[in-house]
Amino acid sequence: MELTQPSRLTFWRSVLLLSAILPYLAIWQLLGLASELDVVVLASKSWMGLLSLLGFGGLAALLTLTATCFRTRERILSFLEPPAQLRWLGYILLTVSLTGYTIVFASAFGRNLLGELGWVRTLVFWAFSLIGMFGLKLIKKNTPWLSSLLLVVLFQTSLNLLITQFSGITSYPFAMGWSETSRYYYPALFLSENIFGSRLPWPILHPSLHLLLTPPYLFDAPLWFHRFWQVLLRFSLMGLTAHILIWRLNVRERAFRWLFLIWMVLYFFQGPLYFHLAVPVILILWGYSRQDDRRTWIFLFLASVWSGLSRINWYPMPGILASVLFFLEVPFQGKNFWSYIRKPLLWVMTGFVIALVTQRVYITLSGIHDPGYFYTSLASNLLWYRLLPNASYSVGVLPAALVASFPMWIAIFLALRQRRVDFHSVRLGLTFAALSVLFVGGLIVSMKIGGGVDIHNLDAYLATLLIVSVYLVFRRYASENDNSLSPFKLPWGLAVLLIAVPAWFLIGANVALKTYDPARTESIVYQLQARVDAVNRQGGEILFITQRHLISMHMLEGVNMVPEYEREELMEMAMANNLDYLQVFRSDMESQRFTAIVVDPLSYRLLGKNYAFGEENNVWVRRVIKPILCNYQEDAIYPEDQIAVYTPQSGERHCPEK
């Protein structure tokens, strides 16, 4: 594959145009922020100084761009390109560039004040990218300007991703985020007899995910290691997926292999592709063989078993992916249509059945009395408005999916246009049909309440799209005419899109350094332990809706584990409106079965569609919070840690006002 380069004039005009536009987009967002904060901009020297600086910067870029239209363009371009004698300065600029963006938005000012302003973030990222471009050019003067810029963007995005992911590794004892406690409690259920002293039902949600998160329990690891293990799995499985795809493509040049691997990891994270769902992709990429059907069937079986332990919408994925590889690697060459698709069709059907049977076996072994608990996603509401920009996801699922996949479709189009005779229309039609099914299926799943807040439910589509596009670009497909395949010429504009789009998705994350007072959190754990001891003395039960990892990791002792009503499971049943489950929950609340309930602070507040997660909030409020607050009262609260303890109301009970 060969990367084309823009002309010198085209490159600098493109850079100047973007540098002229971004400051004014940032000014627009800052003025909106000032209005929200009730800041009188004209009366604030700091605000006026910042806006003036941005305005003059955009104007300078615009004037320079205009100057390139006249005879002075060579003088202007020479001014923009610094001499290459300052190699030492290049290392300084490159270091500042690669770390600067992350540092800005790791600060309280950047994170809390500017963190939600997308154009401001883009401008800051662009500024540091230009700094790094100049730095790399000073170090490697023979590197083309565009290549320098793209390399800096690639490494800057990668370093920001690494830091933001690993910054969440901390010994802070309480859950950080809605579902973190679930991630560390559910894996313990597979070892419940050793950890809790009794056999507890296995997880209902995402068993394969929690199987991967089980190993730290084998040696009683502390919480910080559980957090480290999860991040390590993310990068390891994304990297392994990329590595095996590179192996299938037979990419040999070492430096390019590493750059390509880094880019693919960023691509997988933009969805993101959840790491437990990378496993069936890895198995099919590794195991599919055009020559050895037995090998293909073995790995299809393994991938389908894993998919059966994952998500319903992933049941057909191993068969579909194996079929797509077949369409790419096996030419049609005048075969009968049905004889050509017989094997792929059999893979899809068999893989689906294997996944379905695997789930039924798991349900039988799980100890869950009602199999319907595993199919709640089929009953939850569809929120079609979330296809478009909304309060829960400002981009909207459909626009985000189109943006994420647009560069890949351009690559497919250009690769086919250059070598259209290599593909029979049947192969193309079947490949595109598979992608269409995965795309539509991903959109439908994303519209489920609780699902449409990013594009992670389009993971199967995005992964398959990547595989198809790189097969075409690297000319690793089987040609219909057996001709030698000329290298693909990668247009520089497409290269920009391929790197810029994942960067755009990923630079929105902030460093999540958690600062806390160990003495304070230790005191809270001590108070919770005292509460557990008091309940035990009364012969009662204490329900931990949240913070169950405190029990599984033995930070709290003597808890008689109540397996029902863990928060993520409870939320799933509330979103699906599982009446049988919710009726039992209401009955337990009305009978005041529990002497104490540990949960996050509860507030009876209904929200509209113009609030993020409004529907999710409302089902939680109506079907979970209300039954609790009608029968229990707040007894202790630790708002900084999102923990509250509720005890039974005495006398006449009071429900929250609607």
Same domain for 479 and 584, yes or no, is: no
Residue 176 falls inside a structural domain: no
* pTM score over 0.85: yes
Lowest mean pLDDT among 45-54, 84-93, 143-152: 84-93
177: in domain: no
Q: Are residues 436 and 541 in the same domain?
A: no
Q: Decide if 437 is inside a domain.
A: yes
| Nearest-10 crossing angle of helices 145-166, 87-104 | 40
**188 in a structural domain:** no
| Beta strands 596-599 and 542-544, pairing class | parallel
- Could you tell me where the DSSP H helices lie in 220-336? 223-249, 254-270, 278-287, 293-308, 317-329
Residues 454 and 550 both lie in one domain: no
Identify whether residues 321 and 457 lie together within a single domain. Answer: yes
Check whether residue 264 and residue 130 sit in a common domain: no
Please say which residue of 460, 484, 508 terminates a domain.
484
User: Has residue 413 been placed in a domain?
Assistant: yes
Question: Do 527 and 463 share a structural domain?
Answer: no
Total residues found in the chain within this entry: 658
- Segment 226-248, tens digit of pLDDT: 999 999 999 999 999 999 999 99
**Does residue 106 lie in a domain region?**
yes
Residues 203-218 pLDDT 10s: 999 999 999 999 999 9
- Mean pLDDT (whole number) for 142-166: 94
Residues 478 and 531 in one domain: no
Over the stretch 65-84, which tens digit does the pLDDT of each residue have? Answer: 999 888 888 888 888 887 76
Number of structural domains (the chain) is: 3
Q: At 648, which helix (H) or strand (E)? A: strand 643-648
Residues 551 and 464 in one domain: no
Statement to judge: residues 159 and 253 lie in one domain: no
Cβ contact 389:399 at 8 Å: yes
Which residue is associated with the tokens 């309280």? 108
Sheet strands side by side (includes 643-648): 542-544, 596-599, 643-648, 632-638
Q: What is the pLDDT of residues 368-420, one digit of tens each?
A: 988 989 988 888 889 999 999 998 898 999 999 999 999 999 999 998 887 66
Residue 421 has what pLDDT? 61
Q: Does residue 152 sit in the same domain as residue 21? A: yes
Specify if 179 maps to a domain: no
Residue 631 lies in a domain: yes
Task: Give yes or no: residues 139 and 235 share one domain.
Answer: no
Q: Are residues 90 and 227 in the same domain?
A: no
Q: Of 484, 506, 533, which marks where a domain is finished? A: 484
> Could you tell me the residue range of the domain that residue 125 belongs to?
2-166
